[in-house]
């Protein structure tokens, strides 16, 4: 984790040893100076995921801030909220038992150009529970033996949306016409991804989307993939964030996985999500 000096009076409080930091001293709804945005990006690249508290953001201001970081992209499976196709509502109602994305994953790794980043804004949260966990894929890669690193760098993985049942939104599950969305997206990406901005290497497989290694069967791939899925979420690679209304998280989807904890049955949770356009993993 780097400690790049800042040029503006932001406060930065790390939340765990491997990744994650809370940024204070900024209202992201304001028209931010370029220097402030540059410092936010520095902290985000250093820590993988950053958190802001008590942000009063209309959908318009949420999108405006997102555009200072990257280019908002539309989610392929779910329409956005009224008037804002780039913002999707992530909702769990009191009677529902399945949450959206309730498994460790990188967002939409089955796309040819997965998102660079994801922003999640808490609108309504349960009285307890509903935290989100994050895992550092740089640290996971760097903790592997040199021999394992060398083996993995020669492999590519097949990622498929057909595996993503557990990470579907409630709109995917409850369609007015009662028919499932039969679209399947599939993409082949390197198992070890080099970050295009920092040059650091990260594991880029995840249990929700990665089906097998390219050129191998699922049966042949399973033992090594299962080891990687367990290894990459070891406690020392993770942090955990407790939401409050107005909390905003922004994580680097190129090197961070996340897992929303589904421990608040009987309560309502409403979040707004924006993903930012990425590039082809290399």
pLDDT digits (tens, 9 = 90+) for 50-73: 999 999 999 999 999 999 999 999
- pLDDT of 121 > 80? The answer is yes
Mean pLDDT of 227-245: 98
Look at phi and psi of residue 47 and say left if phi exceeds 0, alpha if psi is from -120 to 50, else beta.
alpha
The CATH number of domain 11-276, selected from 3.40.50.150, 3.40.50.720, 3.60.130.10, 3.60.21.10: 3.60.130.10
pLDDT at res. 78: 82
- pLDDT of 37 > 70? The answer is yes
Secondary structure of residue 66 in the 3-state scheme: helix
CB 116 within 8 A of CB 253: yes
Q: Express each pLDDT in 75-91 by its tens digit.
A: 877 889 999 999 999 99
- pLDDT of 180 > 80? The answer is no
d(CA 203, CA 138): 7
pLDDT at res. 171: 46
- pLDDT of 5 > 90? The answer is no
- pLDDT of 211 > 60? The answer is yes
- pLDDT of 178 > 70? The answer is no
Single out the catalytic residue among 189, 209, 258, 272: 258
Q: Is 200 a catalytic residue?
A: no
Single out the catalytic residue among 42, 47, 105, 138: 105
pLDDT at res. 76: 79
pLDDT at res. 77: 78
d(CA 252, CA 239): 14
Q: Is 54 a catalytic residue?
A: no
* Mean predicted lDDT score pLDDT of the chain: 92
- pLDDT of 137 > 80? The answer is yes
Q: Is 258 a catalytic residue?
A: yes
Lowest-confidence pick of 97-101, 155-159, 190-194: 97-101
Q: Is 138 a catalytic residue?
A: no
What is the DSSP annotation of 109-139? Answer: TTSSS--SEEEEEEEE--SS---EEEEEHHH
Res. 168 pLDDT band, cuts 50 70 90: low
pLDDT at res. 170: 46
Single out the catalytic residue among 39, 41, 47, 107: 107
- pLDDT of 176 > 50? The answer is no
**Strand order in 238-241's β-sheet?**
238-241, 132-136, 256-260
Q: What is the CA radius of gyration of the chain?
A: 18
- pLDDT of 4 > 80? The answer is no
Mean pLDDT of 206-227: 97
Mean pLDDT of 190-218: 97
Single out the catalytic residue among 42, 138, 269, 273: 273
Where exactly are the structural domains of the chain?
11-276
Strand positions, DSSP E, the chain: 11-14, 21-24, 49-52, 72-73, 88-92, 117-124, 132-136, 156-160, 186-190, 192-194, 201-203, 210-213, 238-241, 248-252, 256-260, 269-276
d(CA 132, CA 254): 17
């Amino acid at each position: 984790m780097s400690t790049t000096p800042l040029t503006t009076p932001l406060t930065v409080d790390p939340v765990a040893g491997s990744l994650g930091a809370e940024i204070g001293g900024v209202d992201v709804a304001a028209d931010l100076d370029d220097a402030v945005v540059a410092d936010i990006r520095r902290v985000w690249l250093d820590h993988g995921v950053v958190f802001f508290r008590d942000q009063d953001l209309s959908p318009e201001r949420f999108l405006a801030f997102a555009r200072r970081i990257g280019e908002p992209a539309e989610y392929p499976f779910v329409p956005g909220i009224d008037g804002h196709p780039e913002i999707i509502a992530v909702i769990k109602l009191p009677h529902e038992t399945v949450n959206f994305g309730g498994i460790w994953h990188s967002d939409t790794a089955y796309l040819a150009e997965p998102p660079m980043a994801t922003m999640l804004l808490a609108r309504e949260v349960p009285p307890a529970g509903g935290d989100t966990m994050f895992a550092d894929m740089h640290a996971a890669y760097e903790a592997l033996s040199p021999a394992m690193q060398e083996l993995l760098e020669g492999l590519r993985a097949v990622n498929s949306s057909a595996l993503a049942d557990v990470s579907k939104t409630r709109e995917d599950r409850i369609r007015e016409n009662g028919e499932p969305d039969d679209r399947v997206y599939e993409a082949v990406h390197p198992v070890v991804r080099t970050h295009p901005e920092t040059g650091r290497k990260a594991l880029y497989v995840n249990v929700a989307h990665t089906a097998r290694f390219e050129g191998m069967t699922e049966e042949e791939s399973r033992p090594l993939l299962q080891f990687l899925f367990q290894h990459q979420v070891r406690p020392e690679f993770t942090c955990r964030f407790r939401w409050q209304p107005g909390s905003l998280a922004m994580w680097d989807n190129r090197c961070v996985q996340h897992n929303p904890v589904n421990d608040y049955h009987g309560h309502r949770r409403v979040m707004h999500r924006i993903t930012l356009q990425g590039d082809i993993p290399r």
